[in-house]
Amino acid sequence: MVLAGCGGEKTVQPVPETVEGEVPQGGTTTLPEGDPAAGKTVFASVTPSCGSCHTFTPAGTNGTTGPNLDETLQDDDPASIVESIVNPDAQITPGFQPGLMPKDYGEKLSEQQLADLAAFLAQS
């Protein structure tokens, strides 16, 4: 929606009073279909690697800095997994402090890499 400003002859965009959440990087709200095999590669190759902090049996990792993904990802769908990756402080696992997980994976990873990683993690 575009509004014309009174007297100033300028076009302005309405500004919301409150903003909740984050706008996804890249401007889209849906990701491409993910490939679990490619996601396993992303899990190991992103810096720092997911396995350096998380235990996840399908990846053969046993990190303890972050939550055990074998336990915390049960029944999670790819969309909620992506949200946890790009907005890690949105939902904190009990016993862990906010701010431990890097907040820049949404910028480091392409949409396809995020979709692949989520597909790999969702198959737990």
- 62 CB contacts (<8 Å, ≥6 apart)? 51, 55
Tell me if 56 sits within 8 A of 43, measured CB to CB: yes
Q: C-alpha distances in angstroms, 73 versus 84, 88, 124?
A: 10, 14, 7
Query: In the CATH hierarchy, which fold is given to the domain comprising 33-122?
Result: Cytochrome Bc1 Complex; Chain D, domain 2 (1.10.760)
Q: Give residue 75's pLDDT.
A: 87
Q: What tokens does 94 get? A: 């009990």
Q: pLDDT tens track of the chain, all 124 residues? A: 544 445 445 554 555 455 455 544 444 458 899 999 999 999 999 999 999 999 999 999 999 999 999 999 988 999 999 999 999 999 899 999 999 999 999 999 999 999 999 999 998 6
pLDDT of residue 43: 98
Question: What pLDDT, on a 0 to 100 scale, did the predictor assign at position 94?
Answer: 93
Please name every residue paired with 56 in a beta bridge, in sequence order, or none if there are none.
61
User: How far, in Å, CA of 86 to CA of 104, rounded?
Assistant: 7
